[in-house]
Amino acid sequence: MAFLTISGVHKCFGSYTALENVNLNVQQGEVVALIGHSGCGKSTLLSMIAGLSRPTQGEILLEGRPLKGPGPDRGVVFQNYSLLPWLSVYQNVKVAVDSVHRELPEGDRTRLIEKFLQIVGLWEHRYKRPGEISGGMKQRTALARALATNPKVLLLDEPFGALDALTRATLQDELLKLWDSTLGDSYLRAIWGEERKTILLVTHDIEEAIYLCDRIAVMSNGPAATIGKVVEVTLPRPRDRRQMLEKRAYVEIKEELLHLLTVVYAKRAA
């Protein structure tokens, strides 16, 4: 049985059918991307996996159990950050850590918050409130908050979209280090365990999807969007960003994705 199962999922908003018959099996430790044109329901699907909305039809199972609402087993980073504006960067992460890791001593929770704020490069800005930092820094705060809760499934909705190219590349690499405990330090292995996390990533960036993921699910256009094809990323891990661009497998995967997005599921004119 798959770790995460999406089976026959439909999502309707009144008479509008956003998603129709979506099926996807995700194994534990996989990194899977959802790509497609704007409005195809990628974020809607992620929201249902997060438990923030329910399928109109079909079911979503995690470890064989139906999802009935949000839970600490799923960490979410949405496009709109969802930070509490009256709290500092540090406090926004602390609220989540205190809620999920109640069994940890205060000192361990403090160290956990510091570790992940350092990973996303925000430790020096920890006392600032969301209104005092840039959009990219808000996104990094949301990422640190999700990572620090140690979820079984990490749901990322364009997590690096608001970042400059250098910061985006750095955080992509840090995410892979966290995902693969053999690349992380001993403290991170102690926090995350030896099992690789399961990650679902919504992105418009084809190169990002290929670099990070094991499989890429290409969605058709809405209304009644579905997963049209799942493309395997056959590049071996660990991946070197520069060397990857020169590999024939990379070129073939990118060409297939571009064909699917620009020809098979070309965006229709409004």
Q: What is the pLDDT of residues 149-162, one digit of tens each?
A: 889 999 999 888 87
Q: What is the mean pLDDT of the chain?
A: 91
How many structural domains are present in the chain?
A: 1
CB 122 within 8 Å of CB 140: yes
Q: What angle do the packed helices 135-148 and 165-179 form, to 10 degrees?
A: 0
CA triple 46-261-242, angle to 5 deg:
85
Would residue 135 count as lying in a domain? yes
Would residue 165 count as lying in a domain? yes
Residue 57 pLDDT level (bands cut at 50, 70, 90): very high
Q: Give me the mean pLDDT over the 215-237 stretch.
A: 95
> What CATH number is given to the structural domain containing 187?
3.40.50.300
Would residue 238 count as lying in a domain? yes
pLDDT one-digit tens code per residue, 84-102: 999 999 999 999 999 998 9
Of 7-16, 53-62, 95-104, 182-191, the poorest mean pLDDT is in 182-191
pLDDT reading at 201 higher than 50: yes
- What is the spatial distance between Cα 74 and Cα 57, in angstroms, rounded to a whole number? 21
- What is the spatial distance between Cα 81 and Cα 139, in angstroms, rounded to a whole number? 6
Residue 131 pLDDT level (bands cut at 50, 70, 90): very high
Would residue 34 count as lying in a domain? yes
Note down the domain range covering 29: 4-264
pLDDT one-digit tens code per residue, 152-193: 999 999 888 878 888 889 888 888 887 876 556 677 677 666
pLDDT for res 214: 97
Would residue 222 count as lying in a domain? yes
pTM: predicted TM-score of the whole model, two decimal places: 0.91
CB 69 within 8 Å of CB 76: no
Contacts of 188 (CB under 8 A, 6+ apart): 115, 177, 178, 181
pLDDT for res 269: 46
pLDDT reading at 250 higher than 70: yes
Q: Give me the mean pLDDT over the 59-79 stretch.
A: 92
Would residue 269 count as lying in a domain? no
In this structure, the strands spanning 4-13 and 31-35 are unpaired
Cis peptide upstream of residue 70 (ω within 30 degrees of 0): no
Q: Give me the mean pLDDT over the 73-77 stretch.
A: 92
Would residue 270 count as lying in a domain? no
pLDDT for res 262: 93
